[in-house]
């Protein structure tokens, strides 16, 4: 079939310009959605009396057959050289049905067609993302259930800070991924808008029933302004933005897994199926999957900024620059969904080494803040308590002993407020139990949170 825009030109496109311009090699991913768009649009053309019932049936029959070939992965896109997926589908219909195929594009443009295809694709992929996020949330919840009473060194600046229960640490990531889920739900709502019927930029001349088309394609809303509909890629930005934040969360927890898995810290064992060996060092068991997910975050954040930069100087409405929105988006979708899936599986393979975790609790004067709070409850201003405990920590470090091994008589040289009950404070169990506030690390509060999560899950 001749170029759909060829009538205006005396010469064909330069061969190298074709390589730069043609997009079938990657927008073939939209084939299924493009066929669905053509089916819905043809129905609207029939309603508008542009097509007869017989013509609609012929188009539908061919498109249904083509859709099955595509979904069954039996269609060979490499055998075709059309400019893009829209040109290819129209060409196939025209080759099969003659002039009837040429009528199918009436009242629409590639401008509204491509953005409709893209929205359909992204709606489907957001569902996949949400399903994988649910897997992550459930895996974290299950792991947290197992460690409500496992006391763990909480850190700031990656320095020993205060004891927490391990479940509390894990549920911190549960909260982050829960917010990610809300962002993807919002992205779905933004994507769930049908722009078809906007044509090139101004709307169409045929009175096409846009509500009918939207319903046919499974959209809940139609776009309110044809110029905005054509130029809008906010929904892409919302998805890649949500993906960037989600991957940042994945990267943070994977960084912790990498550290915990190191023999230098040795808190966890990651399952063999999520580690690899070294080509030269036979003792190595590398946390490669966690590292790869951590690395993918850079790729996805980069793609988000690519999309932002693409849009920043575009005047209304369609510009060919928008062809470049697809490859970064496809890359984000593929890598985010694969990362979430692998992470959810990897979490299930973790084994925590409780003996090593307990040994780590005994380092770094982790109970120092408990002593300061003890003095405050005895009536000392917090800043004075902080100063005293800082001095005590210096001494125990010099003596290479733990705070709980410090003699009462030595405590009392710093303040007469110290009594025998100081040793009731100097326990890891007491330290976590004392944080009995909503959102705190006390086991009873963590169990409260787990009960709330169970209802949501």
pLDDT of residue 278: 84
Which one has a higher pLDDT value, 417 or 14?
417
| Residue range 288-300, pLDDT digits in tens | 999 999 999 999 9
Q: CA–CA separation, 148 vs 151, rounded Å?
A: 8
Residue in this structure with the two tokens 């002993």, named with its chain if needed: 401
DSSP state of 276: B
Domains of the chain, with CATH numbers?
6-106 (1.10.275.10), 111-147+161-205+217-357 (1.20.200.10), 362-452 (1.10.40.30)
Helices (H), 104-224: 110-145, 166-191, 210-217
Q: CA–CA separation, 263 vs 290, rounded Å?
A: 16
pLDDT of residue 4: 60
Are 164 and 428 a contacting pair, CB within 8 Å?
Answer: no
pLDDT of residue 11: 74
Instruction: Give the relative orientation of helices 326-348 and 110-145 as an angle to the nearest 10 degrees.
Output: 10
Annotated catalytic residue: which of 78, 157, 279, 313? Answer: 157
Helices (H) and strands (E) in the chain, counts: 20, 6
Active site residue 278: yes
Q: CA–CA separation, 115 vs 125, rounded Å?
A: 15
Q: What is the mean pLDDT of the chain?
A: 95
User: Which run of H or of E encompasses 424?
Assistant: helix 422-425
Q: CA–CA separation, 15 vs 272, rounded Å?
A: 50
User: Which run of H or of E encompasses 257?
Assistant: helix 234-261
Q: What percent of the chain is modeled with pLDDT above 90?
A: 93
pTM > 0.75: yes or no = yes
Three-state DSSP state, 323: helix
Does residue 146 carry a pLDDT above 70? yes
Those residues whose C-beta lies under 8 Å from the C-beta of residue 18, and which sit 6 or more positions away, are none
Q: Which tokens go with 159? A: 């320095």
Residues 323-333, mean pLDDT to the nearest whole number: 97
Active site residue 157: yes
- Lowest mean pLDDT segment, chosen from 51-55, 135-139, 193-197, 452-456: 452-456
Annotated catalytic residue: which of 21, 220, 278, 452? Answer: 278
Are 194 and 223 a contacting pair, CB within 8 Å?
Answer: yes
pLDDT of residue 407: 95
Are 200 and 103 a contacting pair, CB within 8 Å?
Answer: no
Residues 219-225, mean pLDDT to the nearest whole number: 98
pLDDT of residue 21: 79
Nearest Cα neighbor of 93 from 39, 21, 49, 12 is: 39
pLDDT of residue 2: 53
Q: Beta partners for 165?
A: 151
pLDDT band at residue 142 under the 50/70/90 scheme: very high
Q: Which tokens go with 367? A: 């109970």
Q: What percent of the chain is modeled with pLDDT above 70?
A: 98
Those residues whose C-beta lies under 8 Å from the C-beta of residue 210, and which sit 6 or more positions away, are 44, 194, 196, 197, 222
Does residue 86 carry a pLDDT above 90? yes
| Residue range 205-217, pLDDT digits in tens | 999 999 999 999 9
| Residue range 244-283, pLDDT digits in tens | 999 999 999 999 999 999 999 999 999 999 999 988 988 8
pLDDT of residue 184: 98
User: Which run of H or of E encompasses 332?
Assistant: helix 326-348
Does residue 109 carry a pLDDT above 80? yes
Q: How far is CA 81 from CA 17, 33, 92, 339, in A?
A: 14, 19, 12, 33
Q: Which tokens go with 18? A: 């074709």
pLDDT of residue 283: 87
């Amino acid at each position: 079939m001749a170029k759909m825009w060829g009538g205006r030109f005396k010469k064909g496109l330069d061969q190298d310009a074709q390589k730069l311009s043609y997009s079938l090699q990657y927008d073939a991913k939209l084939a299924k959605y493009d066929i669905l768009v053509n089916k819905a649009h043809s129905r609207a053309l029939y309603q508008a009396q542009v097509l007869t019932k017989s013509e609609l049936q012929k188009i539908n029959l061919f498109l249904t057959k083509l859709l099955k070939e595509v979904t069954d992965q039996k269609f060979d896109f490499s055998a075709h050289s059309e400019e893009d997926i829209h040109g290819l589908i129209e060409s196939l219909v025209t080759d099969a049905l003659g002039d009837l195929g040429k009528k199918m594009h009436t009242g629409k443009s590639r401008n509204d067609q491509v953005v409709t295809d893209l929205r359909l694709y992204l709606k489907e992929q957001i569902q996949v993302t949400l399903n994988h996020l649910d897997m992550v949330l459930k895996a974290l919840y299950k792991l947290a259930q197992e460690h409500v009473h496992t006391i763990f060194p909480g850190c700031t600046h990656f320095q020993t800070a205060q004891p927490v229960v391990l479940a509390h640490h894990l549920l911190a990531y549960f909260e982050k991924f829960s917010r990610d889920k809300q962002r993807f739900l919002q992205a779905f709502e933004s994507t769930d808008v049908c722009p078809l019927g906007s044509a090139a930029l101004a709307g169409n001349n045929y009175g096409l029933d846009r509500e009918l088309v939207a319903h046919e394609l499974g959209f809940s809303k139609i776009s309110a302004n044809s110029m905005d509909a054509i130029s809008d890629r906010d929904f892409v930005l919302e998805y890649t933005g949500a993906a960037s934040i989600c991957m940042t969360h994945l990267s943070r927890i994977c960084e912790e897994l990498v550290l915990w898995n190191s023999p230098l810290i040795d808190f966890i064992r990651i399952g063999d199926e999520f580690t690899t060996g070294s080509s030269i060092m036979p003792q190595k068991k590398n946390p490669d999957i966690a590292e790869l997910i951590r690395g993918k975050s850079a790729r996805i954040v980069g793609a988000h900024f690519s999309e932002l930069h693409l849009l920043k100087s575009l005047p209304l409405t369609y510009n060919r620059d928008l062809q470049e929105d697809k490859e970064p988006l496809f890359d984000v979708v593929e890598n985010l969904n694969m990362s979430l899936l692998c992470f959810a599986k990897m979490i299930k393979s973790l084994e925590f080494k409780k003996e090593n975790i307990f040994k780590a609790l005994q380092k770094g004067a982790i109970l120092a803040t408990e002593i300061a709070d003890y003095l405050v409850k005895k009536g000392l201003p917090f800043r004075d308590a902080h100063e005293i405990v800082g001095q005590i920590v210096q001494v125990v470090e010099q003596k290479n002993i733990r705070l709980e091994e410090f003699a009462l008589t030595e405590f009392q040289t710093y303040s007469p407020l110290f009594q025998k009950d100081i040793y009731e404070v100097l326990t890891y169990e007491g330290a976590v139990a004392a944080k009995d506030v909503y959102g705190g690390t006390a086991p009873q509060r963590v169990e409260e949170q787990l009960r709330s999560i169970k209802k949501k899950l």
